Amino acid sequence: DGGITQSPKYLFRKEGQNVTLSCEQNLNHDAMYWYRQDPGQGLRLIYYSQIVNDFQKGDIAEGYSVSREKKESFPLTVTSAQKNPTAFYLCAAGQVSGNTIYFGEGSWLTVV
């Protein structure tokens, strides 16, 4: 089954802990993205990457970090510096030269 796989679906974190959300794609797309969605609100771009070993900050990068060591993978780390991390996180992928992006199923992060 092809597509974008995010894991875990649900994650609980204690305050002060870092947590990493996984995103894997088998679509062979160059570009990958991380968005944050708060309840009842739209999407905000955290980070994006157009090529391996390179990534750019989005609108709300503070308190987050990413890596892009492989084309297929774009993990997001939510650090303890992120003040309000409880949210729904969406990973997406698309071709840099294309005009469509595709989303994973999302990961719910709750800080307890």
E strand or H helix at 10, and its extent?
strand 10-13
Least separation in angstroms between residue 48's CB and another protein is 7
Binding mask 7-46 for another protein (x = CB under 8 A): ------------------------x-x------xxxx-x-
Please check whether residue 103 is in contact with residue 22, taking contact to mean a CB–CB distance below 8 angstroms: no
| Phi, psi (rounded to 5 degrees) for 32 | -135, 155
**Which one-letter amino acid corresponds to residue 70?**
K
Residues lying near another protein in the complex (CB under 8 A) are found at 4, 6, 31, 33, 40-43, 45, 48, 50, 56, 90, 92, 94-106
